[in-house]
């Protein structure tokens, strides 16, 4: 059996991963499960799977989980904090690490998994956004296997030639076409965006996601972060990536070749498909997802993104072109701004304004050490709080 640690097992990606594993029967062994504060959900997962380890990042939550596990007579050992996340990411009996923690919090354990030479199933795009070159160097140095879980990057990976890491121009690829649904406000009049609520922003038309990622999808910052991630994953630049609005979310992304061919990966909008692909690669296994019915889909639409409607997409492109720690600064400011919007402290359009403000006021540095990256992350969060106070 293949040993698996799931970082973020109570979130949407974690739940989908567990569904794929249970669909496969004895092929995978869940060694460790982790969560931030969702004690009851993680406890129920421990009752069902009885992993060797369970990690709660929150110390109080860890104590509550440990009490419940002891009372239930389970053998699962409870660990806590970021140190616990790192520990279960490098266990010798773990071969695959599903990196599904949302945001900057996932960077350290995901990087640790890469440095331990694991198969890293990357659903945490922020790890590459924040520490792109550092992370990719760790993957190469320690012979880790890095496989993308985001449906778009997984689609690109499936459509790429085997030697894509040499550079797109050396393997016959012209450009990457990164698809985006456009979220719930794709057609809303611009003047109404100031009045949208967190619940409206989290009501994605195609995907079932957590609240932070849902808001990122509504602003299209999620697509901007994915563009940055794609630059690192596929050894290319923003100039060779076009974002394409595709409302149906049936084509998950495309790769255009120099001979005029365009390869597209299609499927139902269900994260179990890319999860199963990455967990079984280079083989294929059943994911539990129904096959796409092209007759039912019938029509596929494509549009260019409107940068006036989605300023966060332009800010992300600006960040990757500027380089250094600017993507880290972008991500940190966005995380703070999105939380402020969810807490109803700022309006929806203020998210982009806060990020823009922080990027203007925070100087970036060469992203060559983890200390530098984390220092600029902290600085950007402080600047974001100041910008929010001024909104």
Tell me the pLDDT tens digit for each residue of 250-295. 999 999 999 999 999 999 999 999 999 999 999 999 999 999 999 9
Closest CA to 107 of 362, 332, 346, 264: 332
CA angle 114, 366, 364 (to 5 degrees): 115
Same domain? For 138 and 176 the reply is: no
Other beta carbons within 10 Å of 244? 16
Determine the Cα–Cα distance for residues 74 and 52; give it in Å rounded to an integer.
10
The pLDDT-based confidence of 125 (bands split at 50, 70, 90) is confident
Tell me the pLDDT tens digit for each residue of 138-172. 999 999 999 999 999 999 999 999 999 888 989 99
Same domain? For 210 and 313 the reply is: yes
Same domain? For 14 and 118 the reply is: yes
pLDDT at site 205: 67
282 occurs within a structural domain = no
Coil, helix or strand for 138?
A: helix
Q: In the chain, how many domains are there?
A: 3
Same domain? For 349 and 375 the reply is: yes
Coil, helix or strand for 260?
A: coil
Tell me the pLDDT tens digit for each residue of 309-322. 999 999 999 999 99
The pLDDT-based confidence of 366 (bands split at 50, 70, 90) is very high
48 occurs within a structural domain = yes
Residue ending a domain, among 122, 148, 174, is 148
Same domain? For 86 and 225 the reply is: no
Tell me the pLDDT tens digit for each residue of 33-56. 999 999 999 999 999 999 999 999
The verdict on pTM exceeding 0.75 is yes
Residue ending a domain, among 114, 148, 182, is 148
295 occurs within a structural domain = no
Same domain? For 122 and 20 the reply is: yes
pLDDT at site 91: 98
CATH of the domain at 40: 3.40.50.720
Same domain? For 35 and 62 the reply is: yes
pLDDT at 208 over 80: no
Parallel, antiparallel or unpaired: strands 241-245 and 28-35: unpaired
CATH of the domain at 333: 1.10.1740.10
Residue 16 belongs to domain spanning: 2-148
238 occurs within a structural domain = yes
Residue ending a domain, among 128, 148, 168, is 148
135 occurs within a structural domain = yes
Same domain? For 227 and 93 the reply is: no
Same domain? For 220 and 309 the reply is: yes
pLDDT at 204 over 90: no
């Amino acid at each position: 059996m293949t040993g698996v640690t799931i970082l973020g097992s109570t979130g949407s990606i974690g739940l989908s991963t567990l569904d794929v594993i249970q669909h496969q029967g004895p092929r995978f062994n869940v060694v460790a499960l982790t969560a931030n504060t969702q004690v009851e959900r993680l406890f129920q997962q421990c009752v069902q799977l009885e992993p060797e380890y369970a990690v709660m990042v929150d110390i109080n939550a860890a104590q509550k989980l440990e009490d419940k596990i002891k009372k239930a007579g389970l053998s699962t050992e409870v660990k806590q904090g970021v140190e616990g996340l790192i520990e279960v990411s490098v266990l010798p009996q773990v071969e695959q690490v599903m990196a599904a923690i949302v945001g900057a919090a996932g960077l350290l354990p995901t990087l640790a998994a890469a440095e331990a030479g694991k198969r890293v199933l990357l659903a945490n795009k922020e790890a590459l956004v924040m520490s792109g070159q550092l992370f990719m160097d760790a993957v190469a140095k320690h012979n880790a296997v890095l496989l993308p879980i985001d449906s778009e990057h997984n689609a690109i990976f499936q459509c790429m030639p085997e030697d894509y890491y040499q550079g797109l121009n050396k393997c016959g690829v012209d450009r990457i076409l990164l698809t985006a649904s456009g979220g719930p406000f794709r057609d809303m009049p611009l003047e109404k965006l100031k009045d949208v609520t967190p619940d409206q922003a989290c009501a994605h038309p195609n995907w079932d996601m957590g609240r932070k990622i849902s808001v990122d999808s509504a602003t299209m910052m999620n697509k901007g972060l994915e563009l940055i991630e794609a630059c690192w994953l596929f050894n290319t630049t923003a100039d060779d990536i076009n974002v394409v609005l595709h409302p149906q979310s049936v084509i998950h992304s495309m790769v255009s070749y120099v001979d005029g061919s365009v390869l597209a990966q299609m499927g139902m909008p269900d994260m179990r498909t890319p999860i199963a692909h990455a967990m079984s690669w280079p083989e294929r296994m059943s994911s539990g997802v129904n096959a796409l019915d092209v007759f039912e889909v019938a029509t596929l639409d494509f549009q260019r993104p409107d940068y006036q409607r989605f300023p966060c997409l332009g800010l992300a492109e600006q960040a990757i072109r500027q380089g250094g720690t600017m993507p880290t600064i972008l991500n940190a400011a966005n995380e703070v701004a999105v939380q402020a919007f969810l807490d109803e402290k700022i309006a929806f359009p203020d998210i982009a304004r806060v990020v823009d403000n922080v990027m203007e006021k925070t100087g970036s540095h060469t992203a060559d050490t983890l200390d530098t990256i984390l220092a600029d992350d902290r600085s950007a969060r402080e600047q974001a709080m100041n910008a929010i106070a001024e909104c």
